[in-house]
Amino acid sequence: MTASDHASTPTLNVQHACPCCRSAIALTSTGGLCSRCGFRVVLNNGIYCFMKPDRTADEWQRTFEDLAAGESGDTTAGMGFVSPRQHRYLIEAFRQACGQGAANARVLDVGCGNGLFNSALSSSRAVMGVDYSLNMCRLASKRGMVAYQANALALPFADAQFDLVYSSELAQCVDDVAALLAELARVCDTNGRVVISTLNGSSLIRRALRVLRTVHPHPVWGTLRPVVMRTAADLAMAARGLPLRLDAIYWTHFPFLWLRRSASVDNVLDWAASNVIVRFVKQAPASDAGQ
């Protein structure tokens, strides 16, 4: 993939930004250079790498790099799903949460993994993807995504670039979910949608499995530190102070094919929901809203 590939795809006509100082940065066939702070974008086998040079790979990044290079990397298991059925079920829930959207909508998948999720969710449109695993980006690129290696907390795009920004099951691997939501909101255009999902922290089954994993480690995650399970209320609280309006919440109940939608974080059956998907709408800045 080269810079010309980006320019030839209408839906991918977005402005890139330096992850360090957020100044505009132009991509070339060899990479890119920030004229303000000197940050250099490296082109690695067709993937533009926006990782900060002083950032040390954490255990999650190393795990996904290894998964992507292994036998399960190009499957749903490579993204942490227990089964293909669980993967399909969450995609159907995301399809409702994200909505149809315009054919030329600019879409960003944050934590795109190997691209399987996006290829099933948005097979008819071009989508940009970001993942901090270079090997996962390579797999996603083979599926037609324009994938960048970057930190979800320092996205390589200028403000207000996308009509839809979604992140599937990344929140549980991030300690500061408020910072994650702030970045998703920053690159989302006014009136655009931000859709984020996570393992439901209220789930009694999830809690029981966490206890069980102390005795029998997960076959994929092994002895990694436990994921951060959160509730719908946690995600709503993390969005406070951001230009995000809570629009809808979707509750999945895997392995049962039951999807519930609500307009608030209150749900008498939240203890039975396996995953929670929250949809926000990006609000106009206060100065614009009053005009």
**34 assigned to some structural domain:** no
Task: Note the pTM of the prediction, 2 decimals.
Answer: 0.89
**47 assigned to some structural domain:** no
Please determine, for residue 214, whether its predicted confidence score (pLDDT) is greater than 70.
no
At 228-257, the pLDDT tens digits run 889 999 999 999 999 999 999 999 988 887
- Average pLDDT of span 270-278: 91
Domain containing 227: what range? 52-289
Amino acid present at 117: F
**45 assigned to some structural domain:** no
**254 assigned to some structural domain:** yes
pLDDT at 176: 94
Q: Quote the number of domains for the chain.
A: 1
**9 assigned to some structural domain:** no
**85 assigned to some structural domain:** yes
- CB-CB contact of 151 with 132 (8 Å): yes
pLDDT at 256: 80
**40 assigned to some structural domain:** no
**22 assigned to some structural domain:** no
At 158-202, the pLDDT tens digits run 999 999 999 999 999 899 999 999 999 999 999 999 999 999 988
Indicate the helix (H) or strand (E) that contains 247: strand 244-253
Peptide bond into 255 cis (omega under 30): yes
What's CA 140's distance to the chain center, in Å?
13
Band (pLDDT 50/70/90 cuts) for residue 125 is confident
The CATH number of whichever domain residue 259 belongs to comes to 3.40.50.150
